[in-house]
Amino acid sequence: GAGNPDQPVSVAAPTSLPVYGNPIIRDKYTADPAALVHQGTVYLYTGHDDPPPGKEWYFMKEWLCYSSTDMVHWTEHPSPLNVQAFAWAKADAWASQVIERGGKFYWYAAVEHGTIGGKAIGVAVSDSPTGPFKDARGSALITNDMTKATGIGWDDIDPTVYLDDKGQAYLYWGNTVCYWAKLKPNMTELDGPIHPITTLPRYTEAPWLHKRQGWYYLSYATGFPEKIAYAMSRSLEGPWEYKGLLNEVAGNSNTNHQSIIEFKSQWYFIYHNGALNTHGSSFHRSVCIDKLFYNKDNTLRRVQMTTE
């Protein structure tokens, strides 16, 4: 405190200066992070929480894009994609992920379908990680009438895509049930049936795939308010063995939505919390980054959420 020479004096930083530490973005509310490492740069794609005053719901119309070469300093790029880019969609720029294949960037994104109803997954494509992106199909890749396991209209959300070493791409997605399917090399069409996974305890949503030392990791949001759990497998087609929790409920946000990447030999756990807003934070979310570590047996250590 004041006058105590042993205590550091804390001075609140004006938000117009670069701010280091969590949340990493403070002039907008950002959610559902998905990071892409490409040629020495991390591209961070997020949703944009933007509710009208007094409204408490996921009001999201566009996605945002940031880049960094050190995971500390972030540059914002003009929004490369919004709901209108999908002519068949009517609302809700929900969770998404961008991956690169053959010099093209494919952006998988959940939106509300205009005619079929319920959530749907579209694909946009660009020659650059910062866009501009355009609809790659002119129609949804996944619609609510293709997945019947839950009976709910919002099960087709939260796409994540992983391209394996042999060139086979896998799409995982889903709320309440986690679905997966193979993608054709063109990245815009399914290649075979949709499979539900039934071995993930208390699966809510937000699957994310990553690989290290021959192990695949499937992390996902569990329960509600959400924690993050994970399973491991030697194959992207499973079977997935549940390994436990990775992260606690994040601040005062019901959702948590992780992205996991390795960059310059360090693993990172990227997620959102409600730290920038003291009321209704579930709909005013902010992206945060913490380091992720492995145990000797390749299991994951619990994430320590920090404000650093």
Footprint of ligand FUB on this chain (CB under 6 A)? 31-32, 47, 58, 94-95, 110, 157-158, 205-206, 255, 257
Nearest distance, CB of residue 14 and ligand FUB, angstroms: 29
Output 31 or 42, the one with its CB closest to ligand FUB.
31
Give the up-direction half-sphere exposure of residue 30: CA atoms within 13 A in the CB hemisphere: 25
3-state secondary structure of 144: helix
Question: Do 120 and 139 form a contact (C-beta atoms < 8 A)?
Answer: no
Question: In sequence order, what are the residues at sequence separation of 6 or more whose Cβ sits closer than 8 angstroms to the Cβ of residue 157?
Answer: 94, 95, 110, 119, 121, 173, 174, 175, 205
Q: Exposed, middle or buried by CB within 10 Å (0-12, 13-18, 19+), for 292?
A: buried
CB of 30 to ligand FUB, least distance (A): 10
- Least distance from ligand FUB to the Cβ atom of residue 92, Å: 8
CB of 257 to ligand FUB, least distance (A): 4
Q: Do 21 and 72 contact (CB within 8 A), yes or no?
A: no
Cβ-based nearer residue to ligand FUB, 210 or 264 = 210
Q: Residue 135 or residue 156: which is nearer to ligand FUB going by CB? A: 156
Residue number with CB closer to ligand FUB (237 or 280): 280
CA distances from 64 to 7, 54, 57, 59 (A): 39, 23, 19, 14
Q: List beta partners, residue 82.
A: 62
Cα 236 to Cα 142, 165, 169, 253, 304: the distances in Å are 20, 11, 10, 30, 27
CB of 143 to ligand FUB, least distance (A): 16
Task: Pick the closer one to ligand FUB by CB: 19 or 196.
Answer: 196
Contact 239/232 with Cβ under 8 angstroms?
no
CB closer to ligand FUB, 59 vs 263: 59
How near is the Cβ of 97 to ligand FUB at its closest, in Å? 11
In whole angstroms, the minimum distance from the beta carbon of 35 to ligand FUB comes to 15
Q: Give the side-chain half-sphere CA count within 13 A for 140.
A: 25
For ligand FUB, give the closer residue by CB, 153 or 237: 153
